[in-house]
Amino acid sequence: MNTNNREILQIALPSIVSNITVPLLGLIDVTIVGHLGAASYIGAIAIGGMIFNIIYWIFGFLRMGTSGMTAQAYGQQNKTEIMRLLTRSSSIGLFIASILILLQHPIEQIAFTFIETTPEVQRFASTYFRICIWGAPAVLGLYSLSGWFIGMQNSHYPMIIAITQNIVNILASLVLVYGLEMKIEGVAIGTLVAQYAGFFTAIVLWMHKYKAIRHQIDFRSLLDKQAMYRFFQVNRDIFLRTLCLVAVTVFFTSAGAAQGEVVLAVNTLLMQLFTLFSYIMDGFAYAGEALTGKYIGANNRPALHQMIHQLFVWGIGLSLAFTLMYGLGGEDFLKLLTNETSVIAASSTYFYWVLAIPLAGFAAFLYDGIFIGATATHLMLRAMAIASGSFFLIYFGCRGAIGNHALWLAFIAYLTLRGIVQGILGRKILR
């Protein structure tokens, strides 16, 4: 195995393990409520999960920006800046989390103003939201630490954290739902407990591993206007790019919800297959983040180009493997998530769209990682803006003729265009 593949896999494989476990937090919730006897429970988890995806995706720069900037500081061997980046990111994350908790009631009201769903689904989703919002400090704090770990070329710690979260989530949710018969409340509390278990695990691991540089923590750096300006300048484009991502995701779920509980449940279940692929592909994107940042920080262009080439070899191979896997066993996977026969039957009408996802989307994920590592966030924003605009144009142009199929067609086109446009723009920074 050559050096490039070894470096990629050293970061990607632990990231894949941890990333697979991330959607498991959602899959576990969907699976548990999918066996409670009503499609409204699945819909509630979809809506509740979407709200938190919106909230946390908006602040995804805490992970992405921290990862890219830390990787470049690591490549430069600048230990002072490495610790300053962690201090800035984690402090900002905990501040934002406090604001979210204080504003939880207006956030809930605004969310359900724009989401069309049945009263029963809304009631269950509100319960889920009011419990899980208290996990914001843990989630955003973990964003900062995870991004920092990846920037430090350490993907093993995020893996340990994710595994811990899922073990806790499974045990807590099963006890609360089936032991104490708490239903949606039990699922929400189980998720909350798991989030804090992951956050405290991250702190313990950090304190153990990085004793040598802990003393370089300097909260006075938060008062450095120039450094803070650079931090937010790098992350501004990530923030705006994330808003585009949120807009597409929110609309996808809302458009499905407006078509009834069954269509909402179908789209939710099929999107779990996309989520599974995306988090596995993100494992290689994280490798792209860490290694791109390191090589740019060290000014090693030949190694950078070789690494990117190998990254795409892995991307094509994995996409073909997932297409085959979904084609052979996708329906059986859906049956594991729910026993609602009406939902399973309806999903077969749209299943072929899932088969197109891997090859349509892999390039977008890999380029995201490369651009984050290079801190070329303005190019990410351009690509996302073009792809998002195309999503809405295609959907509104086709929905009258093909209904829910228009939603999936627009989504596939959106994934494809992200990769194509990023590939064109990436030539400017990867020469």
Q: Is residue 159 helix, strand or coil?
A: helix
User: What parts of the chain have a pLDDT lower than 70?
Assistant: 1, 22-26, 34-39, 116, 212-230, 234, 330, 337-340, 431
Q: Is residue 339 included in any domain, yes or no? A: yes
Q: Give the pLDDT of residue 254.
A: 82
Residue 218: predicted pLDDT? 63
Predicted local distance difference test score (pLDDT) of residue 227: 63
In-domain check, residue 263: yes
Q: Are 27 and 274 in contact (CB under 8 A)?
A: no
Tokens linked to 350: 């749209």
Range of the domain at 11: 3-426
Per the domain annotation, does 101 fall within a domain? yes
Please tell me the number of Cα atoms within 13 Å of 115 on its side-chain side. 30
The C-alpha atoms of residue 105 and residue 111 are separated, in whole angstroms, by 10
**Any domain includes 431:** no
Q: Measured in Å, how far apart are the chain's first and last C-alpha atoms?
A: 26
Residue 284 belongs to a domain: yes
Asked if the structure places residue 169 within a domain, the reply is yes
The pLDDT of residue 393 is: 95
Query: Residue 215: its pLDDT value, please?
Result: 60
- Per the structure, how many domains does the chain have? 1
Cα–Cα distance for residue pair 427/420, rounded to 1 Å: 12
Per-residue pLDDT reduced to its tens digit, 373-382: 988 888 889 9
Query: What is the pLDDT, as a whole number, of residue 420?
Result: 93
pLDDT number for residue 201: 94
Angle in degrees, 0-180, between the axes of helices 39-58 and 261-297, rounded to the nearest 10: 30
Closest CA to 372 of 101, 9, 67, 10: 67
What is d(CA 252, CA 413) in angstroms, rounded to the nearest whole number?
Answer: 13
Paired tokens of 195: 């989030």
For residue 57, what pLDDT is reported? 77
Q: Would you say residue 345 lies in a domain?
A: yes
- Dihedrals phi, psi of 37, to nearest 5 degrees: 105, 5
